Structure 1
Amino acid sequence: MNTPGPEARVAIRAVSRGAPAARYIHPMNIRDVDLNLLVMLDALLRERSVTRAAEAMNITQPAMSNALKRLRKLLGDPILVRTAGGMQPTARAEQLQRPVRNALAQMEAAIAPNRAFDPATAERLFTILITDYAASVLMPHVVAVLETEAPGIALNILSASGDAIGQIERGEADVLVNQFGQLPANFHHQRLWRDRLACLIRSDHPALTAAGGELTLEAFLAQRHILITQTGIGLSRLDEVLADRGLAREISVLTRHYQLPRQLVAESHMIATLPARIARYQARHLGLAVLDPPVELPEFQVGIAWGALDHHDPAHRWLRERIVRIARETLD
């Protein structure tokens, strides 16, 4: 009778615990992987073109095509697919892009440990989780600075979801820009800027005309409202303040998007209450008015948070410190 090998024993133990054995049948051994393929994969995902990736790596196009063929076989995935808009990465490839880029960056840093981080020559992809409000007011400033100071730094800007903390803990994202309540103990954060809520309303709204341009509490409560909520449920701080007074407003539209309300306000009598910075920007383009809410509301803070995994990484530290400085110089 033959004795099961180590891999078979792992599979047997997995089945005995109720876990699926299939995932243990064909384990990938890193010793069987040509690590040069990871460098090729990084180039392909950055350039999204076999020709441009080959030029970036200073190799021939047939050589890069062969590398892509080997990667597809290794990963069991097309990696890049041809679309009307050019070559696009698959979902699997997008999942791999940041881990591969960061793994290569860490390997480079390990080989040359005494070399200081140089933003002018560094090449790296950072994933930023952020609300569209914060992205609208912050990211144009950040991108403008990176374009001159760190042209090799690329940003993957994603909408912050309810699982943002988990994404950072799993290494799927680098930083989160948002308003924070309680963060996990192993997280770090810094304040970026302060803001307050303001009301976005049509300049020719009948309620303003009747009150000489003033938004009274009575008129405010008589209108229909747009509620912006990141979760899609629940009430805002404004509604909590009104509820403390025994009052409530009529909410007709709930949305997670900060850009949509301006169009709704411009074409209706509804009122949107949103951060003043973005309200002022939107009002300029559509002839809308920005007014203080008819109740006193506290300021709120927007911050940047990151996990312990990246806290000591030189490139990560440079980027977040640069974001903090940009925000405080331009927004705070």
Structure 2
Amino acid sequence: MDFNGIDLNLLAAFNALMTERNVTRAATQVGVSQPAMSAALARLRKVVGDPLFLRSAEGLLPTPRARELAEPIAQALRQIEAVLVTRPGFDAASSRLAFTLGMSDYPAFVLLPGLLRALDQQAPGVTVNVHAFNDRDHAVDLLDAGVIDAAIGVLPTHLDGRILTRPIFSDSFVTIVARDHPAADHGMDLATYLQQRHVLASPEGERHGLVDQALAQLGQQRTLALTLPHMFAVPAVVAASHMVATVMKRVALHSAARPRLAMLPPPVALPKITSHLLWHRRANEHPAQRWFRGVIKAVALGV
């Protein structure tokens, strides 16, 4: 294809480089050799007058100009594809596809039972592989690399047009204490809260969570007696001690230790935590991927 002297195949090469961030993988996506992709990148740089992609230990990093061009070019290619290509339909009932879903323990706990029940009813031949991640930005890397089809978690620290998101469910925080803790009957104000020994669940290994951020804004600090990466162990730890924890409500409600716990409103203002469905723009129009995301969204409405 040629338009006013510009080879439109370069747009496909640019889009592949933007999504893959790797010359070899981009070449595979477009169906050309690695040298041909390298030559296309050189031509792109000459046409645009910008380096577009800089090499780094993490792969090719797009320049600001490349980020500016990414969505308009991707949209143009989608429009061309919509005109020229008739996509086959997707029959969920007869499908034998396997989807890989990136998620940490909490969204897996909330969504997986309902998701697998829905899949069993709608598409008994479809299987799901769960790929764990703890770092919110790791989900973007996994989507970029094509390791996962979608992810569920909090929003990454930085998003650009290649990663699409949708909020699917939220949860609020509660403070939990053992049933025999004095606060179980009398409640817990901020002064009492600060006198306690606290448990912090931190999948990423940090010793500073949302509660600590809220307290810091008040010029206060709590005493951490225990940090651990497993949030679902926290209720049992609290029920067997006089320590205090502030956790997402579903974690406490569905714990086996729930009968031995009291749930209290946190004495500091904390935001609700919203989990998002994330997917890569290159999979946005794929019929099977669209169906899978639709099932996830429908299940999330009922949690």
Same fold (TM > 0.5): yes
Match of 1:203 in 2: 179
Match of 2:169 in 1: 193
Q: Tell whether 2:123 aligns with 1:147.
A: no
- Structure 2 CA distance, aligned partners of 1:128 and 1:255? 24
Deviations 1:121-154 (A, max 9, x none): 1111111111211111111111111111111111
Match of 1:178 in 2: 153
Superposed counterparts of 1:33-182, under 5 Å: 115-162=88-135, 163-180=138-155, 181-182=157-158
Question: Alignment partner of 2:165: what SS?
Answer: strand
TM-score by length of 1: 0.61
Question: Alignment partner of 1:259: what SS?
Answer: helix
- Structure 1 CA distance, aligned partners of 2:240 and 2:260? 11
Equivalent pairs counted in the alignment come to 215
- Is the CA contact (8 Å cut-off) linking 2:154 and 2:276 kept in structure 1? yes
Q: Which of 231, 242, 248 is the aligned partner of 1:258?
A: 231
Match of 2:300 in 1: 327
- Is the CA contact (8 Å cut-off) linking 1:283 and 1:289 kept in structure 2? no
Question: Alignment partner of 2:186: what SS?
Answer: coil
Deviations 1:223-263 (A, max 9, x none): 11111223212521211111111111111222222211122
Match of 2:70 in 1: none
- Structure 2 CA distance, aligned partners of 1:311 and 1:115? 15
Deviations 1:168-188 (A, max 9, x none): 110111111111143233100
- Structure 2 CA distance, aligned partners of 1:186 and 1:252? 42
- Is the CA contact (8 Å cut-off) linking 1:169 and 1:309 kept in structure 2? no
Deviation at 1:207, TM superposition (A): 3.6
Match of 2:190 in 1: 217
CA 1:118–1:213: 2 relative to 1, 3 Å: farther
The amino acid that maps onto 1:190 is: R
The amino acid that maps onto 1:311 is: N
Report sequence identity in percent: 30
Q: Tell whether 2:243 aligns with 1:267.
A: no
Unaligned runs of 5+ in 2: 1-85
Question: Alignment partner of 2:131: what SS?
Answer: strand
Superposed counterparts of 1:242-253, under 5 Å: 242-253=215-226
- Structure 1 CA distance, aligned partners of 2:172 and 2:87? 45
- Is the CA contact (8 Å cut-off) linking 1:122 and 1:152 kept in structure 2? yes
- Is the CA contact (8 Å cut-off) linking 1:128 and 1:173 kept in structure 2? yes
Work out which of the two has the higher radius of gyration on C-alpha atoms and give 1 or 2: 1
- Is the CA contact (8 Å cut-off) linking 1:199 and 1:274 kept in structure 2? yes
Deviation at 1:286, TM superposition (A): 4.4
- What is the CA RMSD across the aligned residues, in angstroms? 1.8
Question: Alignment partner of 1:177: what SS?
Answer: strand
Deviation at 1:284, TM superposition (A): 6.1
Question: Alignment partner of 1:304: what SS?
Answer: strand
Unaligned runs of 5+ in 1: 1-112
- Structure 2 CA distance, aligned partners of 1:289 and 1:324? 32
- Is the CA contact (8 Å cut-off) linking 1:199 and 1:279 kept in structure 2? no
- Is the CA contact (8 Å cut-off) linking 2:200 and 2:207 kept in structure 1? no
Q: Tell whether 2:264 aligns with 1:291.
A: yes
The amino acid that maps onto 1:272 is: A
Runs of 4+ in 1 over 3 A off after TM superposition: 283-286
